[in-house]
């Protein structure tokens, strides 16, 4: 074979190889590439996966005992024309960054503020529940509209607002307003942050909000700071030898509800190095008990947290004369997260505490072990008036 022919064959072979390589690079669509798992360390109610430009979010726990979860695909709006996704594979496909959104829980608000995207919120059900001054100002200025209640959202107002997505929450799957809005073409994305059982698990849901606004880097940084602050506070109590005994809850009608041993509140008390009297129970929520049973076990408790929604000793005594039999009542060691309220009566604790568990833990440490945090000013737990 002559050198000329050999050279031609080598050139043709090289050309085919290069052409094949170019064609292969064009084949995979973003949704066909291997999935990568963004780092989630504490949250268990959702997962996130990235496939090229698409972020896929799976919410496994939209509400307690949910039979199934939801799957959402988030696609950059500048890539929507070039990416085709099967509609029947997702409960919603959302263009990002979202520019107009309705949210439905006060627990969503701190994440929006921290990520700097509060300006996209156009509506909220029962705005009086909101405590945040920054959000209240937007309500007063007419930038966030009142929508009624979560179970009976004013769908006409929502349709006028024309949000790109509704960030919803539910206690079950029977919200008729959500179904109406979905039929009108507005996607509903369920957020289950409130179902998480651990302090840092709830806080990590800021990473759920982030990809809707391309704020993943910011969310990672915000959460890392919260996590570090929480761990530093917990570390303060490790050498404590005196563990004060703690009672929680209060009567609702004839039933006293205390926090279960595997509940969110119980985890805080454990990390604050307290002797919580119901720490050995397996309940993730609350435990319903009789007044007699609570008196028997908790009458001598050093501290009492969250006596229903009562904010003064006078209210407690008027609600039930037996309350004054507890040593914590007699010694004025009763603290409540319902004392501090927003301008329209919303409870700051239920809005901000899930996002800032480090502040909750520091509050408890400052009460239970005041020598560890001298001159600390609590954010949530206040002594009764």
Give the β-pairing of 92-96 and 70-76: parallel
Q: Which pair of tokens denotes residue 351? A: 């809005």
Counting residues of the chain whose pLDDT is more than 70, the rounded percentage is 90
Name residue 165's beta-bridge partners: 101
Counting residues of the chain whose pLDDT is more than 90, the rounded percentage is 79
Whether 304 has a pLDDT exceeding 70, the answer reads yes
Q: Read off the pLDDT band of 37 (50, 70, 90).
A: low
Instruction: Check whether residue 351 and residue 317 sit in a common domain.
Output: yes
Whether 23 has a pLDDT exceeding 80, the answer reads no
Question: Does 167 fall in a domain?
Answer: yes
Give how far Cα 198 sits from Cα of 45, 58, 80, Å. Answer: 11, 19, 37
Instruction: Check whether residue 246 and residue 215 sit in a common domain.
Output: no
Burial of 242 (0-12, 13-18, 19+ CB in 10 A): exposed
Query: CB pairs under 8 A, 24+ apart, for 370-378?
Result: 372/236, 372/237, 372/240, 373/236
Whether 33 has a pLDDT exceeding 50, the answer reads no
> CB of 258 within 8 A of CB of 196?
no
Give the β-pairing of 70-76 and 54-59: antiparallel
> CB of 243 within 8 A of CB of 365?
no
Residue 265 domain boundaries:
238-383
Instruction: Check whether residue 58 and residue 165 sit in a common domain.
Output: yes
Question: Does 202 fall in a domain?
Answer: yes
Instruction: Check whether residue 247 and residue 285 sit in a common domain.
Output: yes
Calculate mean pLDDT across residues 28-52. Answer: 73
Question: Does 75 fall in a domain?
Answer: yes
Instruction: Check whether residue 199 and residue 295 sit in a common domain.
Output: no
Query: How far, in Å, CA of 54 to CA of 211, rounded?
Result: 10
> CB of 85 within 8 A of CB of 52?
no
Question: Does 141 fall in a domain?
Answer: yes
Calculate mean pLDDT across residues 112-130. Answer: 97
Query: How far, in Å, CA of 109 to CA of 162, rounded?
Result: 20
What's the angle, vertex CA 190, arms to CA 183 and CA 44, rounded to 5?
155
Instruction: Check whether residue 283 and residue 249 sit in a common domain.
Output: yes
Instruction: Check whether residue 256 and residue 184 sit in a common domain.
Output: no
DSSP code of 148? B
Instruction: Check whether residue 46 and residue 160 sit in a common domain.
Output: yes
Whether 239 has a pLDDT exceeding 80, the answer reads yes
Name residue 46's beta-bridge partners: 59
Q: Read off the pLDDT band of 200 (50, 70, 90).
A: very high
Whether 17 has a pLDDT exceeding 50, the answer reads no
Whether 64 has a pLDDT exceeding 90, the answer reads no
> Cα-flanking dihedrals φ and ψ of residue 98, to 5°?
-70, 135
Calculate mean pLDDT across residues 344-363. Answer: 96
Task: Select from 227, 246, 270 the last residue of a domain.
Answer: 227
| Tally of structural domains, the chain | 2
Q: What is the predicted pLDDT for the residue at 36? A: 53
Query: How far, in Å, CA of 39 to CA of 33, rounded?
Result: 18
> Cα-flanking dihedrals φ and ψ of residue 382, to 5°?
-120, 150
DSSP code of 34? P
Whether this prediction's pTM lies above 0.85 is answered by yes
Question: Does 276 fall in a domain?
Answer: yes
Sequence-separated (6 or more) residues with CB below 8 Å from residue 206? 111, 114, 115, 219, 222, 223, 355
Calculate mean pLDDT across residues 106-127. Answer: 97
Calculate mean pLDDT across residues 39-67. Answer: 93
Write the pLDDT tens digit of every residue in 144-199. Answer: 999 998 888 999 999 999 999 999 988 888 889 999 999 999 999 999 999 999 99
Question: Does 166 fall in a domain?
Answer: yes
Question: Does 93 fall in a domain?
Answer: yes
Task: Select from 198, 227, 256 the last residue of a domain.
Answer: 227
Instruction: Check whether residue 285 and residue 220 sit in a common domain.
Output: no
What's the angle, vertex CA 305, arms to CA 127 and CA 262, rounded to 5?
90
For residue 66, the domain's CATH number is: 3.40.50.1980
Task: Select from 165, 199, 227 the last residue of a domain.
Answer: 227
Q: What is the predicted pLDDT for the residue at 123? A: 98
> Cα-flanking dihedrals φ and ψ of residue 246, to 5°?
-130, 135
Instruction: Check whether residue 53 and residue 200 sit in a common domain.
Output: yes
Question: Does 24 fall in a domain?
Answer: no
Whether 103 has a pLDDT exceeding 50, the answer reads yes
Chain centroid to Cα 375, Å, comes to 30
Instruction: Check whether residue 173 and residue 39 sit in a common domain.
Output: yes
Instruction: Check whether residue 223 and residue 339 sit in a common domain.
Output: no
């Amino acid at each position: 074979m002559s050198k000329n022919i050999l050279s031609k064959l080598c050139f043709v072979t090289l050309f085919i190889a290069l052409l094949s390589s170019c064609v292969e690079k064009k084949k995979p669509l973003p949704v066909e590439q291997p999935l990568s798992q963004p780092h989630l360390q504490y949250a268990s109610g959702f997962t996130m996966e990235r496939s090229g430009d698409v972020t896929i979010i799976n919410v496994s726990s939209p509400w307690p005992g949910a039979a199934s979860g939801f799957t959402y695909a988030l696609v950059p709006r500048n890539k929507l024309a070039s990416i085709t996704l099967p509609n029947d594979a997702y409960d919603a496909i959302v263009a990002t960054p979202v520019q107009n959104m309705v949210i439905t829980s006060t627990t969503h608000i701190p994440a929006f503020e921290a990520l700097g995207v509060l300006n996209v919120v156009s509506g909220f059900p029962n705005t009086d529940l909101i405590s945040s001054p920054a959000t209240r100002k937007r309500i007063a200025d007419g930038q966030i509209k009142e929508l009624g209640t979560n179970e009976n959202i004013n769908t006409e107002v929502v349709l006028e607002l024309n949000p790109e997505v509704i960030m919803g929450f539910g206690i079950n799957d029977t919200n008729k307003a959500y179904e109406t809005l979905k039929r009108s073409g507005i996607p509903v994305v369920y957020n289950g942050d409130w179902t998480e059982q651990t302090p840092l698990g709830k806080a990590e849901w800021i990473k759920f909000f982030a990809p809707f606004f391309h704020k993943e880097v910011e969310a990672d940084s915000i959460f890392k700071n919260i996590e570090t602050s929480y761990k530093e506070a917990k570390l303060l109590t490790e050498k404590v030898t005196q563990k004060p005994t703690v009672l929680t809850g209060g009567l609702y009608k004839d039933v006293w509800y205390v926090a279960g041993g595997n509940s969110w509140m119980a985890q805080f008390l454990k990390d604050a190095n307290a002797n919580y009297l119901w720490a050995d129970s397996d309940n993730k929520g609350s435990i319903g008990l009789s007044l007699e049973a609570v008196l028997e076990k908790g009458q001598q408790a050093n501290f009492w947290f969250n006596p229903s929604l009562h904010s003064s000793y006078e209210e407690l005594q008027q609600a039930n004369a037996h309350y004054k039999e507890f040593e914590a009542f007699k010694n004025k060691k009763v603290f409540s997260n319902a004392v501090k309220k927003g301008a329209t009566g919303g409870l700051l604790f239920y809005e901000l505490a899930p996002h800032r568990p480090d502040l909750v833990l520091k509050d408890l440490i400052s009460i239970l072990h005041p020598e560890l945090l001298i001159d600390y000013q609590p954010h949530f737990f206040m002594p009764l008036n």
